[in-house]
Amino acid sequence: MCGIVGGVAERNITAILIEGLKRLEYRGYDSAGFAVIDDDGVLQRLRRVGKVAELDQAQQQEPLAGRLGIAHTRWATHGAPSERNAHPHFSGGELAVVHNGIIENHEALRHQLKGLGYVFTSETDTEVIVHLLDHKLKMFGDLADALKAAVKELHGAYGLSVINAAQPDRLLAARSGSPLVIGLGLGENFLASDQLALRQVTDRFMYLEEGDIAEIRRDSVQIWDAAGQLVERETAQYHEGAEAADKGEYRHFMLKEIHEQPKVVQRTLEGRLGDRQVLVQAFGPQAAELFAKVRNVQIVACGTSYHAGMVARYWLEELAGIPCQVEVASEFRYRKVVVQPDTLFVTISQSGETADSLAALRNAKARTEGEGRYLASLAICNVGISSLVRESDLTLLTQAGPEIGVASTKAFTTQLVGLLLLTLSLGQVRGTLSSALEAELVDELRRLPTRLGEALAMDATVEKISEHFAEKHHTLFLGRGAQYPVAMEGALKLKEISYIHAEAYPAGELKHGPLALVDADMPVVTVAPNNELLEKLKSNLQEVRARGGELIVFADREAGIEDGEGTFIVSMPHIHDVLAPILYTLPLQLLSYYVAVLRGTDVDQPRNLAKSVTVE
Ligand code: M6R
């Protein structure tokens, strides 16, 4: 989704802006641009549809230089991807704005500003911000005062940055619903929507909070909070993530991230396992007391994170004996829900900035006693400084490290680990899980990184299997029990990056409709661990073969499913059934990756998608 980079320095910052945009490419975008104030005090701009590389090339052909500038990657919401809709947007020749988020009252503001004589050159909601700001600047004279007045009239979400040719020593920023971070340098300061964009220039960061307005100069930063009070925000040193910035030996970030899973699962477990027990305090000092009161769990998330929640439902009900509901955030946030007493509200998110998940959390927290309130909120999240983490009562940080590929891989498996730790903690504290089973699962969790490594060793086998899909247009994914959400995740991965239509079904549902689709052109992918549902699954597979369907089965090596005509078996390491969803995810990730490579798609930045969906 959209990205922002800005800076004010003694040196020309054009290359820093472009490098910052390149580092934000993983978020997904369709056009890019930047504006600088040059040494003659003139506001200059360059914008291009397509990749940052094209913007970079254009910049090399007609170089623009400046010591103050803002840059942006746009993911179209209002108005098609085009040069005139790309940011920065100007008002007159002096004022420029870049913006992430959506201004919901843009139509009313546009109407009002047109009445004041402003002429609009784009279809974006962002352009109302820059004209509104110009209007306020004429009233107040000072850019910070104008911004403070302008944001009061904006409804919706924004992370924005402004420069003004008439005040060329300052970079202004405002945050409400869309993250911004200030990067602190020596005699120069920067701004971005994600600190990854600024790792090239600094490792010291200051995170803006909701409602903050910042005035950033070369040697100072001033921040006003939502109430207009001058405030200090903490400075944090950033260590994590240096390794994430390059692909190393791998062709794509996605493949690198798939292969990182044994390591990041290990990190997610570190410090959270005792000898025979999960350490409940991993969820925070008050977790044990709170968990003892939990009688229900409500999980809310989007996309891959939602699938992690679906797996957790099987675990929570089976192992901890707690009723659990799971819902996609975009539905949950607009639904009138009935809250069961003592419900723990759990959000799951890689980024912690997904607009729907955040809105669902805020709705949940806003519930009053009378309407039925949640006992507490817990975020399972990969980004410690995210809004979701800051606004939740309890947190479990997954330790996946920055995930660059738009298709989520290591974030999912570390979420599953976090959710299993939650299940075991709830079972332990509430006395619903036997200590023998908890000890057995703790042991299994310790062995999990090794098992994941064994599954990844099948990389070449899966690559070979991927050839079956290169020319196909549709695929079915089947699983039973906790493997059904794994099948859903496998189908999501395949459609996201290979653009092949893929649907997942619980295998037992096949004969209730989807079997009609099965023929020789419809490969059916199945995950088959050796569990109590195996015999039933085998019958479902017979149903497919009998209709001429080609089967690709990821099966436990002891499952007794044989290779045969039209049946391709990939033998999986044996694993405890509870942990099987984590292990069986890996070959499905590899499968979608290799199919996408064969089809020549943009694996790390698939079309139309954004890494972090910060708008509705
Ligand atoms: O950052 P989040 O986990 O909240 O993101 C949720 C979804 O947008 C995300 O999982 C999306 O579905 C991925 N592209 C899946 O690969």
Q: Which CATH number goes with the domain that contains 183?
A: 3.60.20.10
The domain spanning residue 316 has which CATH number? Answer: 3.40.50.10490
User: What's the pLDDT at 537?
Assistant: 79
From the alpha carbon of 610, which atom of ligand 1 is closest?
Answer: 14
389 CA to centre of own chain:
14
- Kindly state whether residues 451 and 384 are assigned to the same domain: yes
Q: Measured in angstroms, how far is the CA atom of residue 526 from the centroid of ligand 1?
A: 23
- Any alpha helices (H) in 99-163, and if so which ranges? 106-115, 126-140, 143-151
85 CA to centre of own chain:
25
Rounded to whole angstroms, how far apart are CA atoms 303 and 323? 22
Domain ends where: 237, 263, 289? Answer: 237
Structure tokens at 382: 């990969």
Tell which phi-psi region holds residue 578, choosing left (phi > 0), alpha (psi between -120 and 50) or beta.
alpha
Read off the pLDDT of residues 200-215 as tens digits, 9 standing for 90 and up. 899 899 999 989 999 9
Tell which phi-psi region holds residue 372, choosing left (phi > 0), alpha (psi between -120 and 50) or beta.
left
Is 137 inside a domain boundary?
A: yes
User: What's the pLDDT at 218?
Assistant: 95
**611 assigned to active site:** yes
Rounded to whole angstroms, how far apart are CA atoms 241 and 225? 29
Q: What is the pairing mode between strands 343-349 and 324-328? A: unpaired
Rounded to whole angstroms, how far apart are CA atoms 138 and 116? 12
Rounded to whole angstroms, how far apart are CA atoms 326 and 230? 41
Is 289 inside a domain boundary?
A: yes
Strand, coil or helix: what is 146? helix
Is 304 inside a domain boundary?
A: yes
| Other Cβ atoms within 10 Å of 446 Cβ, number | 12
Scan for tokens 């290591």, then name that residue. Answer: 410
Instruction: Name residue 236's amino acid.
Output: A
Is 613 touching ligand 1 by the criterion CB < 6 Å? yes
Strand, coil or helix: what is 253? helix
Task: Write out the DSSP string of 310-365.
Answer: HHHHHHHHHHS---EEEEEHHHHTTS-PPPPTTEEEEEEESSS--HHHHHHHHHHH
User: What's the pLDDT at 243?
Assistant: 52
Is 321 inside a domain boundary?
A: yes
- Kindly state whether residues 165 and 209 are assigned to the same domain: yes
Is 488 touching ligand 1 by the criterion CB < 6 Å? no
Domain ends where: 195, 213, 237? Answer: 237
Is 192 inside a domain boundary?
A: yes
Rounded to whole angstroms, how far apart are CA atoms 191 and 9? 12
Q: Measured in angstroms, how far is the CA atom of residue 612 from the centroid of ligand 1?
A: 7
Q: Measured in angstroms, how far is the CA atom of residue 607 from the centroid of ligand 1?
A: 15
Is 59 inside a domain boundary?
A: yes
From the alpha carbon of 301, which atom of ligand 1 is closest?
Answer: 4
Is 351 touching ligand 1 by the criterion CB < 6 Å? yes
Domain ends where: 172, 204, 237? Answer: 237
- Kindly state whether residues 501 and 575 are assigned to the same domain: yes
- Kindly state whether residues 213 and 285 are assigned to the same domain: no
Rounded to whole angstroms, how far apart are CA atoms 174 and 191? 11
Task: Write out the DSSP string of 147-171.
Answer: HHHHHTT--B-EEEEEEETTSTT-E
Contact 403, 261 (CB under 8 A): no
User: What's the pLDDT at 244?
Assistant: 59
Q: For helices 126-140 and 143-151, give the axis angle rounded to 10 degrees.
A: 130
Four-CA torsion 206, 222, 137, 101, nearest 10 degrees: 20
What is the chain's Cα-based Rg? Answer: 26
User: What's the pLDDT at 371?
Assistant: 65
Is 358 touching ligand 1 by the criterion CB < 6 Å? no
Phi then psi for residue 147, to 5 deg, are -65, -40
Phi then psi for residue 517, to 5 deg, are -80, -20
Rounded to whole angstroms, how far apart are CA atoms 214 and 224? 6
In the set 2, 302, 324, 381, the catalytic residue is: 2
Q: What is the pairing mode between strands 296-301 and 324-328? A: parallel
Strand, coil or helix: what is 197? helix
For the whole model, what pTM was predicted?
Answer: 0.75
Of the candidates 152, 156, 160, the one whose C-alpha atom is nearest the C-alpha of residue 226 is 152
Rounded to whole angstroms, how far apart are CA atoms 314 and 335? 24
Contact 35, 55 (CB under 8 A): no
Is 100 touching ligand 1 by the criterion CB < 6 Å? no
- Kindly state whether residues 291 and 232 are assigned to the same domain: no
Phi then psi for residue 136, to 5 deg, are -70, -35
Is 612 touching ligand 1 by the criterion CB < 6 Å? yes
Which distant-in-sequence residues (6+ apart) come within 8 Å of 511 by Cβ?
543
- Domain interval for residue 422: 253-599
User: What's the pLDDT at 453?
Assistant: 96
- Kindly state whether residues 258 and 232 are assigned to the same domain: no
- Kindly state whether residues 259 and 206 are assigned to the same domain: no
Of the candidates 100, 141, 227, the one whose C-alpha atom is nearest the C-alpha of residue 615 is 100
Ligand 1 pocket mutation, candidates 305, 346, 398, criterion most atoms within 8 A of CB: 305
Is 530 inside a domain boundary?
A: yes
Structure tokens at 370: 């009378």
When divided into structural domains, the chain yields a total of: 2
- Kindly state whether residues 231 and 257 are assigned to the same domain: no
- Kindly state whether residues 375 and 491 are assigned to the same domain: yes
CA contacts within 13 A on the Cβ side of 278: 32
Which distant-in-sequence residues (6+ apart) come within 8 Å of 574 by Cβ?
530, 556, 557, 558
Read off the pLDDT of residues 270-306 as tens digits, 9 standing for 90 and up. 888 888 999 898 898 889 999 999 999 999 999 999 9
Phi then psi for residue 527, to 5 deg, are -110, 125
- Kindly state whether residues 452 and 489 are assigned to the same domain: yes
Contact 344, 375 (CB under 8 A): yes
Is 303 touching ligand 1 by the criterion CB < 6 Å? yes
Is 609 inside a domain boundary?
A: no
- Kindly state whether residues 261 and 206 are assigned to the same domain: no
Rounded to whole angstroms, how far apart are CA atoms 173 and 171? 7
Is 14 touching ligand 1 by the criterion CB < 6 Å? no
Q: Measured in angstroms, how far is the CA atom of residue 339 from the centroid of ligand 1?
A: 26
| Positions in the chain short of pLDDT 70 | 1, 239-245, 369-371
**324 assigned to active site:** no
Strand, coil or helix: what is 55? helix
In the set 51, 410, 472, 611, the catalytic residue is: 611
Is 347 touching ligand 1 by the criterion CB < 6 Å? no
- Kindly state whether residues 229 and 90 are assigned to the same domain: yes
Residue nearest atom 4 in ligand 1 by C-alpha distance: 349
Q: Measured in angstroms, how far is the CA atom of residue 399 from the centroid of ligand 1?
A: 16
